[in-house]
Amino acid sequence: FPQAEDLYLAFPLAFCIFMIRLLFERFIAKPCALGLKVQANGPQKAQPNAILEKVFTAITKHPDEKRLDGLSKQLDWDVRSIQRWFRQRRNQEKPSTLTKFCESMWRFTFYLYIFTYGVRFLKKTPWLWNTRQCWNGYPYQPLMPDLHYYYIVELSFYWSLMFSQFIDIKRKDFGIMFTHHIVTVTLITFSYVTNLTRVGTLTLCLHDAADVVLEAAKMANYCKCQKLSDLLFLTFAIVFIVSRLGIYPLWILNTTLFELYEALGNFPALWVFNVLLVILQILHCFWSYLIIKAAYKAISKGKVAKDDRSDIESSSDEEETVPRSKSPHSTVTTNGTSGANGTNGYLTGGTSSEEH
3-state secondary structure labels for all residues of 286-334 = HHHHHHHHHHHHHHHHCCCCCCCCCCCCCCCCCCCCCCCECCCCCCECC
pLDDT higher than threshold 90 for residue 154: yes
Checking 177-181 for CB contacts under 8 A at 24+ apart, the result is 179/283, 180/280, 180/283
Max mean pLDDT among 52-61, 332-341, 344-353 falls in 52-61
pLDDT higher than threshold 60 for residue 337: no
The confidence score (pLDDT) of residue 6 equals: 80
* Cα(143)–Cα(94) distance, integer angstroms: 45
pLDDT higher than threshold 80 for residue 58: yes
The confidence score (pLDDT) of residue 294 equals: 83
Reduce the DSSP state of residue 236 to 3 states and report it.
helix
| Residue 108 pLDDT grade (very low, low, confident, very high; cuts 50, 70, 90) | very high
| Interacting residues of 6 by C-beta distance below 8 A, sequence separation 6+ | 148, 152, 192
The confidence score (pLDDT) of residue 353 equals: 35
More confident residue, 110 or 290: 110
* Contact (CB, 8 A) for 195 and 251: no
The confidence score (pLDDT) of residue 139 equals: 87
- What's the Cα-to-Cα distance from 339 to each of 48, 78, 326, rounded to whole Å? 11, 15, 14
The confidence score (pLDDT) of residue 303 equals: 54
pLDDT higher than threshold 90 for residue 300: no
Reduce the DSSP state of residue 50 to 3 states and report it.
helix
The confidence score (pLDDT) of residue 115 equals: 98
Tens-place pLDDT, residues 223-237: 999 999 989 999 999
Beta strand spans in 29-181 (E):
none
pLDDT higher than threshold 70 for residue 198: yes
* Contact (CB, 8 A) for 289 and 48: no
* Contact (CB, 8 A) for 215 and 111: yes
| Residue 104 pLDDT grade (very low, low, confident, very high; cuts 50, 70, 90) | very high
Helix, strand, coil percentages (3-state) for the chain, rounded to 5, are 65, 0, 30
From 18, 30, 341, select the one nearest 166 (Cα to Cα). 18
Q: Where are the domains of the chain?
A: 4-36+95-310, 50-93
- What's the Cα-to-Cα distance from 68 to each of 47, 63, 84, 345, rounded to whole Å? 17, 6, 11, 17
Name the DSSP letter for residue 125. S
From 82, 68, 9, select the one nearest 347 (Cα to Cα). 82
From 241, 244, 243, 216, select the one nearest 231 (Cα to Cα). 216
The confidence score (pLDDT) of residue 299 equals: 76
| Residue 204 pLDDT grade (very low, low, confident, very high; cuts 50, 70, 90) | very high
The confidence score (pLDDT) of residue 173 equals: 67
* Cα(331)–Cα(264) distance, integer angstroms: 81
| Interacting residues of 95 by C-beta distance below 8 A, sequence separation 6+ | 42, 169, 311
Tens-place pLDDT, residues 111-139: 999 999 999 999 999 999 999 999 999 98
The confidence score (pLDDT) of residue 216 equals: 97
Specify burial of residue 196 (Cβ count, 10 A radius: 0-12, 13-18, 19+). Answer: buried
- Note the pTM of the prediction, 2 decimals: 0.77
From 212, 191, 184, 208, select the one nearest 281 (Cα to Cα). 184
| Residue 311 pLDDT grade (very low, low, confident, very high; cuts 50, 70, 90) | very low
* Cα(164)–Cα(230) distance, integer angstroms: 28
pLDDT higher than threshold 60 for residue 241: yes
Class of domain 50-93: mainly alpha
